[in-house]
Amino acid sequence: MRFLAPSVRALLLAGLSLAAVSAARAEEPKAFDATLVHHAVLPGATFAAAPADAPAGLTVSGRYTGAPNELGRRFDALYSIYDAKTGLARPFPGQPVQGFSGIRALGDGRYLVLTDNGFGAKANSADAMLMVHVVRPDWQTGRVTVEKTTFLKDPNRVLPFRVVNEATAARYLTGADLDTESIQPVGEGFVIGDEFGPYLIAADADGVVTRYTETTVGGTTLHSPDHYAMILPASPDKPLPAFEVSRSKGYEGMAISADGKTLHPMLEGPVWIEGKKEEKGGKAVLRVYDVDAQTLAFADTVRYYPLEAPTNAIGDFNMIDETRALVIERDDGQGDPREGWAETPAKFKRIYLVDLAQTDADGVVRKIGYIDLMAIRDPNGVARAGTIDGIFTFPFQTIENVDRISETEIIVACDNNFPFSVGRAKGKADDDEFVVLEVGGLLAAR
């Protein structure tokens, strides 16, 4: 190549680099082994008392969780709604700690976790308070302690829309106000990703909302059907308002850069463009944005996470170094298929290692490798339930927590969708399960 003009040589080298990236993208992600190290359980029926200054109505939760044909109806009598699938009855006295939809290791065996938005929908969660917790699993006893609970509130009226507790001083937030699904510690407080807007919300250490932003990139703002500005027409002959993000497909995952300056919120579902789900290279993709962690300002950069199936969803997203990250990708099934009782058993529950710096020409990130949460080795019989013939499964509908805790280990936890999901045992509402997995091969892969 010494006889080529410098400009031609540069073009050829650039082409070779692009070809190398394309070849890397064409490779299938490699499967790695996972071994169960620890297993601990927080009972699903774990409750927190509402703060003393909260409205009296928040001492009870689950009033609006009747059958689908009764959605929106209030049931005031405790335990008047019975669920034969789980054997549980509601409403409950107190606030369920609920399943968790985001986790970050704090060190010293403690973890920051985010309670999901109550009972799964805006319409049934007006009495479900939004909470952030610090928990500590005891791997020897298998128990999990909730050390601290912080309730989210908006006394300074930062949110620009009406909230359930609008007329109160503290304005405690509920699952009818926000669908909290992802969290990152930032400074003395934290930033939360929401699915209703989708919005990003910053709060201080006391849970007080300090900043709010909508998803506006390149001059376009994304809306879900639950965005505060979405209003149905008064007449059936009027067109429905357009929206780009499906219900419950907002910010399910949100990583933060190694230097703590940039957040990377990821949508759970593809954006709809002209009536079709967004695709790249024949695969449905999820948008990953760059956001200033202090100002919550969106950059124009957009990357794309490719789903292995268009009906899959992601559960959590955390960086492990400057460019590589862990992503939970799952189907909607629940229950161990080996046991034979589940109507739609869990099949696809994986944790992928991706590299945000390795993207193809469309901005699609490279999937380096994965572990299968339905095929975890348990040679030492560590599991408290779920191991058959030396193989442990994590067969929950929603698995929404993953973080690296050492050079070879990760922590994984489910969102139990209390009191509805039944993934571990037939006829029993799921608990919140935490596991530590040895996955040194995956974490070292590049």
Q: Which of 53-62, 65-74, 368-377 has the lowest mean pLDDT?
A: 65-74
CATH fold for the domain made of 17-444: Tachylectin-2; Chain A (2.115.10)
Rg (Cα) of the chain, in Å, rounded?
22
Structure confidence at residue 232 (pLDDT): 87
Structure confidence at residue 71 (pLDDT): 82
Strand, helix or coil for residue 58: helix
Report the alpha-carbon distance of residue 106 to residue 377 in Å, rounded.
27
- b/e 88-112 (16+ beta carbons within 10 angstroms → b): bebbbebbbbbbbbbbbbeeeeebb
Six token digits for residue 196: 């209703």
Residue 27 pLDDT class (50, 70, 90 cuts): confident
- b/e 227-252 (16+ beta carbons within 10 angstroms → b): bbeeeeeeeeeeeeeebbbbebbbbb
Q: Is residue 12 predicted with pLDDT exceeding 50? A: no
Residue 13 pLDDT class (50, 70, 90 cuts): very low
Report the alpha-carbon distance of residue 334 to residue 327 in Å, rounded.
19
3-state helix, strand, coil in the chain (%, to 5): 5, 40, 50
Answer yes or no: are the C-beta atoms of 50 and 391 closer than 8 Å. Answer: no
414-427 confidence digits (pLDDT tens): 999 999 999 999 99
Residue 26 pLDDT class (50, 70, 90 cuts): low
Show Cβ contacts of residue 326 under 8 Å, excluding neighbours closer than 6 positions: 316, 317, 318, 320, 351, 352, 353, 354, 402, 403, 404, 410
Q: Is residue 412 predicted with pLDDT exceeding 70? A: yes
Domain ranges of the chain: 17-444
| Token pair 């369920």: residue | 96
Residue 69 pLDDT class (50, 70, 90 cuts): confident
Report the alpha-carbon distance of residue 419 to residue 95 in Å, rounded.
12
Look at residues 260, 273, 131 and name the one whose alpha carbon lies nearest to residue 207: 131
Six token digits for residue 232: 């149905």
214-270 confidence digits (pLDDT tens): 999 999 999 999 999 999 899 999 998 999 999 999 999 999 999 999 999 999 999
267-326 confidence digits (pLDDT tens): 999 999 999 999 999 999 999 999 999 999 999 999 999 999 999 999 999 999 999 999
Structure confidence at residue 51 (pLDDT): 97
Q: Residue 425: what are its φ and ψ, rounded to 5°?
A: -145, 140
Q: What is the pTM of this model?
A: 0.93
57 DSSP assignment: G
Q: Is residue 93 predicted with pLDDT exceeding 90? A: yes
Over residues 102-111, the mean pLDDT reads 97
Q: Is residue 15 predicted with pLDDT exceeding 80? A: no
Report the alpha-carbon distance of residue 122 to residue 397 in Å, rounded.
20
Strand locations in 69-188, DSSP E? Answer: 81-83, 88-90, 92-93, 95-96, 100-107, 110-115, 131-138, 143-151, 180-186
| Token pair 């739609």: residue | 344
Report the alpha-carbon distance of residue 218 to residue 259 in Å, rounded.
25
